[in-house]
Amino acid sequence: MSPVQPLPPELLYTRTDPSLLRFKTSTDLPPLQEIIGQDRAVGAVKFGIGIRRPGYNIFALGTTGTGRHELVEDFLRQHAADEPTPSDWCYVYNFTDSYYPVALEFPAGSGVAFCRAMEELVEELYAVIPAAFASDEYRIRRQTIENTLRERQEAAYRALQTEANQHGLDLLRTPSGLVFAPVTETQEVIDPEAFQKLSEEEKERIRGHIEELQGKLQAVLQQAPDWESETRRDLRALDAETIRFTVTPLFTRLLTTYADQPAVQKYLAAVQEDVQHHFDLFLTAESKEDGEPSHTESHPPITRYKVNLLVDCSNTQGAPVVYEDNPAYGNLVGRVEYTTRMGGMDTDFTLIRPGALHRANGGYLMIDARRLLLEPYAWEGLKRALRAGQIRIETPGQMMSQVNVITLEPDPIPLDIKVALVGDRSLYYLLSQNDPDFDELFKVAADFEDVMHRTPDSQARYAQLIASLAAERDLRPLESEAVARILEESARMADDAHKLSMAVGAIIDLMQEADYWAGEEGAQTVRLSHVEMALQEQYHRSARIPERSREMILQDTVHIQTEGAVVGQINGLSVMQLGKIRFGQPTRITARVRMGRGEVVDIEREVALSGRLHSKGVLILSSYLSNRYATEYPLSLHANLVFEQSYGGVDGDSASSTELYALLSALAELPIRQALAVTGSVDQFGNVQAIGGVNEKIEGFFAVCQERGLTGEQGVLIPRTNVRNLMLRSEVVQAVENGQFAIYPISTIDEGIELLTGTPAGVADDNGIFPEGSVNRRVQERLLAFARRWLALHYPAQPGEAERNGDGPMA
Amino acid sequence: MPSHPIQRLLVALDGSPCSHAVLRTAARLAQGLHVELLGIFVEDQHLFQAAALPIAQEVGARSCLVRTLGQDDIARDYRALTHQTAHTATQVVRQFDIEWHFEIRRGQVTEELIALAGPHDLLCLGRYGWPLFPHRRLGSVARTVLTHRPAPLLLLSSEILPQHPIFVTFEGTPAAQQRLQMAARLARLYQSTLTVLLQGNESKSLYKMANTALAGYEQTIEYRQVDLQFWGWDVGRKANRTNATMLTSYQPALMDANPNLALLFI
């Protein structure tokens, strides 16, 4: 096997040639008219907007910062501009049952006019009704009716009085009634003595007259309520006639205006009937008391005739596009507010408030999925509205049938809307898996790419995107070198030299920070140095922990050797993510072996400091050992693997090849070069596989070596399949160029162990025997020796028993 | 402006809602005019006499039931009524800073009132007594007293409202001068506009006289000409339109001008 060659510098960092961008500064570039790198998502959004079928709502999923909000909103706005403006909606009083306010629909922008018309109507009613009741005609007719009653009463009273007088009697008022008494000629009540002196005949005559008059008085008094009732009926009829003639012309005008809207006509008819029944609302208390209506300038508001304009599209062009930033339940489906009155809660239809669904009805509603799900009942409320195709304003308690409070139940409003949720992929799959309604209601998934291919053409368009972003944010023009550097950084963000990151948010941050440094320098344009400064400062601001970690290595508090050779010890590489920054650092991994029952003990796992992926990697390398070296005899090995001085736990399988190398070194008793560090996972066949964070890992080890002094012997073994991911910092590339550092692409464990030990790995012959002196032969022999001793110990005399135990004797 | 001749307000009380309104108005007036107030409740002697008759029977005003009536019944009813009237009157008068007395007399109501009232009294009566029929305009007592008129007479159906116009008829006589002064004083008390009604045919000269009499008066004064031919109707119409609260006049014919108008006859 020929030794693995280090990678040439040009494979460590794929540059973007500024000259190929063909502009001097970003202002030379035309603004980007299209959306780049998101063809799949764009197609999905277009489809979602175009298809007008129930359930075809959109879920824009992808990584934060990939421009999902902007893209979806831009598309929605473009599309919405050509669509018809939706209707206005009002809530009005329900004269049949005020518990159920009535919803009225008006053509876009007409709701305001209706509100105004109703206000004017009420103003008019305040003017004409008191005037009608103050008119001479009304007064005279009312007076006539009242006089009729009075005349009837007085005539009856006079008749009784006259008849009584004719019989020498007078009618007297007592505190609780009336009494007839005989009187003298001077109208004095006759005294009892005089009465006693009257003849019996006379007394009987008087008694007879009194009885007769009492009967008549009773008849009159019994008739009095009927007369009063009749008078009240006549007065009501007069009032009704007066009010009808007064208000009908006003309503006729309105009914003509809204002739083509039956619902409005029905409402106006109800208003007219109500006004006719409650005309006294338009008269002041004083005038009602006096029976003399009068119009006053400051009249009390009459709530029942108000119009609650819920949705006003008078300033809307095309269909509305609403982004609800705070998708609480009430903000979404609307709510009924309350006022306190006399210590209690009270409400009416004027306190109905619209939600985002009302404002976006007939158009589009965008919501951040995470925020929506964090709001209690909001997700259920949205689904309910979409399923039913109508907006029903209910309190959450009503919706869940949990609360029995007196509130309003406004008419539901038909819902015609396209909802676009924007969220993470994990959220999308979580909902898809756990909510049976989700797939029915959000049939369109717009999956946003995290990366795009890095080609000359895509880089040119990305440069245009950068130019547009700079122009939109009023940043200084970027020189082509600066743009090229941003493109390179984008590739590094993508973790792939052949891709560009779609995390536009991070690119914008970098541009803004570079612009800041350009400003600090007083430059007119953003140059390469400003971008470098921005990156350097970004790292510096977050580098406290990596620097502290490196310092501990340099102080030998954490033991990391970068020279010499040690059996069973190797430098592994790990990567840590702290906030926005990722950094790599070396970790010493050690392996110790002895005869045993075929166990490779991962100390990290034993103390629950490793994740499941790491444990899986350890099991894979166990399998590799037994399949490669001990197919014909038991793997009688007990090995311990340790991440030395690791206290925070490890995960991932990127150290599995490293652990295997340490194990092989321990078994072969061959020292490993400590100037090298290793990363990569391994499969059961010994193939080294790609890992993540390769750049940071290399840079982490490089930084330690650099501090201690580069020797030319130092380097990192990486999986060959990770070579395409390399976008290393310039100092690493420079060191490689100078022959002070090396990156080795490794395909197999044999390649790696050869490099690490300086001893050939060895290839097995047809009998499975490795060449003498090779690493694999030494491993094979060590394992064989363990097996023999194991068998000797456990099966000294009766090998048949060993067979039954599954550990057959060696040939 | 000469001081008014009123030295005492005499209020006839009978326990009816109307008489309570009269008492409230009288108490306010007494406070404003700085005079004492005497509340009079007259138990009708005729009723005691009628109840003493063996044939006396009462017909319930609302129930229409006929029941035997005795003097004890009348005495008991009057006891209850006077007690209640005195209690209500005390509650009303307590709100004002005035000197007041309450007397119960027995006799003929009109005679007692006429006998009590002197020229320096203002006799205050309800326009309606206990309603036999609710819409009957003027109680028989009020009519009789108005006929005899022993003193200035104030007839009310409800309280006088502040800041509502006070009407006064003015025909140029010395009595009219005195009435004008009284009306002006009341208008000031109630912060009301004083509306002087002048007879059409002599309105110019009457205006000059009234204007001279009211020289120095600081409240708003309006002069209106009234049609002699339709005197009552015209005054009533003007009172309605301006929401006037009181009419001061000498003519009993104006009694029916407006049922809600307070009438002051001087």
User: Any CB–CB contact under 8 A between B84 and chain A?
Assistant: no
DSSP A334-388: -EE--EEETTEEE--GGGEE--HHHHHTTSEEEEEHHHHHHSTTHHHHHHHHHHH
Q: Of all helices (H) and strands (E), which one includes residue B73? A: helix B71-93
User: What is the model's pLDDT at position B27?
Assistant: 93
Find out whether A662 and A775 touch, Cβ atoms under 8 Å. no
For A392-431, b/e burial (b = at least 16 CB within 10 A) is bbbbbebbeeeeeeebbebbebebebbbbbbbeeebbeeb
Find out whether A129 and A283 touch, Cβ atoms under 8 Å. yes
Q: Is the pLDDT of residue B134 over 80?
A: no
Separation between Cα atoms, residue B203 and residue B181, nearest integer Å? 18
Q: Is the pLDDT of residue A754 over 80?
A: yes
Q: Which of A134, A175, A292 sits opposite B78 (nearest CB)?
A: A175
Which residue blocks in A135-168 are alpha helix, DSSP H?
136-166
Distance between the two ends of chain A, CA-based, in angstroms? 31
Nearest chain B residue to A131 by CA distance is B241
Q: Per the CB < 8 Å rule, is A177 touching B58?
A: yes
Least confident range of A172-181, A212-221, A356-365, A758-767: A172-181
Q: Give me the mean pLDDT over the A633-639 stretch.
A: 84
Find out whether A671 and A590 touch, Cβ atoms under 8 Å. no
pLDDT class for B170, splitting at 50, 70, 90? Answer: confident
Q: Give me the mean pLDDT over the B108-113 stretch.
A: 85
Report, in this order, helix, strand and coil percent for chain B, each rounded to 5: 40, 25, 35
Regarding pTM above 0.90, the answer is: no
Find out whether A321 and A328 touch, Cβ atoms under 8 Å. no
Q: What is the mean pLDDT of chain B?
A: 82
User: What is the model's pLDDT at position A171?
Assistant: 86
pLDDT tens by residue, B221-253: 888 888 766 667 777 777 877 778 888 877 766
Separation between Cα atoms, residue A464 and residue A36, nearest integer Å? 10
> Measured between alpha carbons, how far is residue A734 from residues A82, A716, A741, A746 in Å?
56, 15, 9, 22
Contacts of A139 in chain B (CB under 8 A): 240
pLDDT tens by residue, A299-313: 556 889 999 999 999
The pLDDT > 90 percentage for chain A reads 59
Q: Is the pLDDT of residue A396 over 80?
A: no
Which residues partner with B231 through β-bridges? none
Name the nearest CA neighbour of B168 among B30, B264, B32, B261: B264
Contacts of B51 in chain A (CB under 8 A): 179
pLDDT tens by residue, A552-599: 999 999 999 999 999 999 999 988 887 778 899 999 999 998 888 877
Distance between the two ends of chain B, CA-based, in angstroms? 17
- Shortest distance between the Cα of B205 and any Cα of chain A, in A, equals 31
User: What is the model's pLDDT at position A125?
Assistant: 92
Neighbours of A242 (CB within 10 A): 20
Q: How far is CA B205 from the centre of its chain?
A: 30
Q: Could you give the 3-state DSSP secondary structure of residue A48?
A: helix
Name the nearest CA neighbour of A421 among A392, A446, A440: A446
**Of the spans A59-68, A752-761, A800-809, which averages the highest pLDDT?**
A752-761
For testing contact with chain A, the best of B133, B164, B242, B255 (most A CBs within 10 A): B133
Q: What are phi and psi of A189, to 5 degrees?
A: -65, 130
Structure tokens at A136: 């001479």
| Residue numbers of A annotated as active site | 654, 697
Separation between Cα atoms, residue A592 and residue A641, nearest integer Å? 7
Q: Are strands B221-226 and B194-199 parallel, antiparallel or unpaired?
A: parallel
pLDDT class for B35, splitting at 50, 70, 90? Answer: very high
Q: Give me the mean pLDDT over the A646-671 stretch.
A: 85
Find out whether B240 and B218 touch, Cβ atoms under 8 Å. no
User: What is the model's pLDDT at position A272?
Assistant: 95
Find out whether A38 and A460 touch, Cβ atoms under 8 Å. no
Q: Is the pLDDT of residue A515 over 90?
A: yes
The pLDDT > 70 percentage for chain A reads 93
Residues contacting A801, CB < 8 A, separation 6+: A795
User: Any CB–CB contact under 8 A between B50 and chain A?
Assistant: yes
Structure tokens at A9: 């510098």
Q: Per the CB < 8 Å rule, is B133 touching A218?
A: no
Residues contacting A397, CB < 8 A, separation 6+: A403, A405
Structure tokens at A779: 């491993």
In total, the C-beta contacts within 8 angstroms joining chain A to chain B are 109
CA dihedral angle for residue A495, residue A34, residue A321, residue A365, rounded to 10 degrees? -40
Query: What is the number of alpha carbons within 13 Å of residue B67 lying toward its C-beta?
Result: 13
Q: Could you give the 3-state DSSP secondary structure of residue A295?
A: coil
- SS3 string, A611-637, reads CHHHHHHHHHHHHHHHHHHCCCCCCCE
Residue type, A810: M
For testing contact with chain B, the best of A160, A174, A180, A284 (most B CBs within 10 A): A174
DSSP A207-264: HHHHHHHHHHHHHHHHHHHHHHHHHHHHHHHHHHHHHHHHHHHHHHHHHHHTTT-HHH
Q: Is A250 exposed, middle or buried (0-12, 13-18, 19+ CB in 10 A)?
A: middle
Neighbours of A380 (CB within 10 A): 15
Q: What are phi and psi of B126, to 5 degrees?
A: -75, 145
Q: What is the mean pLDDT of chain A?
A: 88
For A161-183, b/e burial (b = at least 16 CB within 10 A) is eebbeeebbbbbbbbbbbbbbbb
Q: How far is CA A331 from the centre of its chain?
A: 12
Q: Per the CB < 8 Å rule, is A179 touching B58?
A: yes
Separation between Cα atoms, residue A180 and residue A161, nearest integer Å? 9
Find out whether B224 and B196 touch, Cβ atoms under 8 Å. yes
Interface of A with B (CB under 8 A): 134, 136, 139, 146, 149-150, 153-154, 157, 170, 172-182, 188-192, 195, 203, 206-207, 210, 214, 217-218, 221-222, 224, 228, 286, 290-292, 294
Query: What is the number of alpha carbons within 13 Å of residue B49 lying toward its C-beta?
Result: 20
Find out whether A775 and A666 touch, Cβ atoms under 8 Å. no
Q: Is the pLDDT of residue A748 over 90?
A: yes
User: Any CB–CB contact under 8 A between B72 and chain A?
Assistant: no
Separation between Cα atoms, residue A400 and residue A394, nearest integer Å? 10
Neighbours of A5 (CB within 10 A): 9
Overall residue count recorded for chain A in this entry: 811
Name the nearest CA neighbour of A674 among A761, A777, A587: A587
